[in-house]
Amino acid sequence: MYLGASFNEHPKVVAMGKNKSVIVVGGGIVGLSTAYFLQKAGHQVTLLDKSDITFGASFVNAGYLTPSHIVSLASPGMITQGLRYMFDSSSPFYMKPRLDLDFIRWAWYFKKSSTHAKVERSMSIIRDINILSRELYEGIKDSGDLGDFTIGKQGLMMVYQTEKARDHEMEVVEKAAKMGLVGKHLSKSELKKIEPKVDFNAKGAILWECDRHTTPPLIMKKMLEHLEKVGVDIHKNEPVTNLSVSDGKITEVTTDKASYRADEVVFAAGSWTSGLAKKLKLKLPLQAGKGYRINVEEPTNITMPAILMEKKIAVTPMEGFTRFAGTMEFSGINHNIRKERVEAIAKGVEDYYMGFHISQEAKSQAKCGLRPVSPDGLPYIGRPKNIDNLTIATGHAMMGWSMGPATGKLVTELISGDKTSMDISPFDPQRKF
Residues 66, 295: Cα–Cα separation, whole Å: 21
370-397: pLDDT as tens digits: 999 999 999 999 999 999 999 999 999 9
Cα distances (angstroms) measured from residue 235 to each of 12, 22, 137, 224, 356: 12, 14, 25, 11, 43
Question: With contact defined as beta carbons under 8 Å apart, do 155 and 208 qualify?
Answer: yes
The whole-number pLDDT of residue 7 equals: 33
pLDDT above 90: residue 16: no
Average pLDDT over residues 29-35: 98
pLDDT above 80: residue 51: yes
The whole-number pLDDT of residue 91 equals: 78
The whole-number pLDDT of residue 88 equals: 73
DSSP SS3 for 26: coil
With the C-alpha atoms ordered 209, 210, 211, 212, is the resulting torsion angle positive or negative? positive
Cα distances (angstroms) measured from residue 150 to each of 138, 157, 351: 10, 19, 29
287-342: pLDDT as tens digits: 999 999 999 999 999 999 999 999 999 999 999 999 999 989 999 999 999 999 99
Least confident of 7-21, 250-264, 393-407, 411-425: 7-21
Domain ranges within the chain, ordered by starting residue: 62-98+152-212+286-373
Of 90, 66, 85, 83, the closest CA to residue 151 belongs to 66
**Strand runs labelled E in 164-312:** 183-187, 204-208, 212-213, 233-235, 240-246, 249-255, 259-261, 264-267, 287-296, 306-308
> In which region does residue 258 sit, left (phi positive, over 0), alpha (psi from -120 to 50) or beta (all else)?
beta
The whole-number pLDDT of residue 171 equals: 94
pTM: 0.93
Q: How confident is the model at residue 73 (pLDDT cuts 50, 70, 90)?
A: confident
Assigned CATH class of 62-98+152-212+286-373: alpha beta
Question: With contact defined as beta carbons under 8 Å apart, do 18 and 42 qualify?
Answer: yes
Cα distances (angstroms) measured from residue 212 to each of 63, 100, 215, 313: 8, 38, 11, 17
Q: What is the mean pLDDT of the chain?
A: 93
pLDDT above 70: residue 24: yes
DSSP SS3 for 113: helix
126-146: pLDDT as tens digits: 999 999 999 999 999 999 999
Residues 46, 235: Cα–Cα separation, whole Å: 8
What is residue 195's DSSP assignment? S
Residues 319, 299: Cα–Cα separation, whole Å: 11
Question: With contact defined as beta carbons under 8 Å apart, do 379 and 394 qualify?
Answer: yes
Q: How confident is the model at residue 87 (pLDDT cuts 50, 70, 90)?
A: low
The whole-number pLDDT of residue 85 equals: 62
Residues 338, 268: Cα–Cα separation, whole Å: 27
pLDDT above 50: residue 10: no
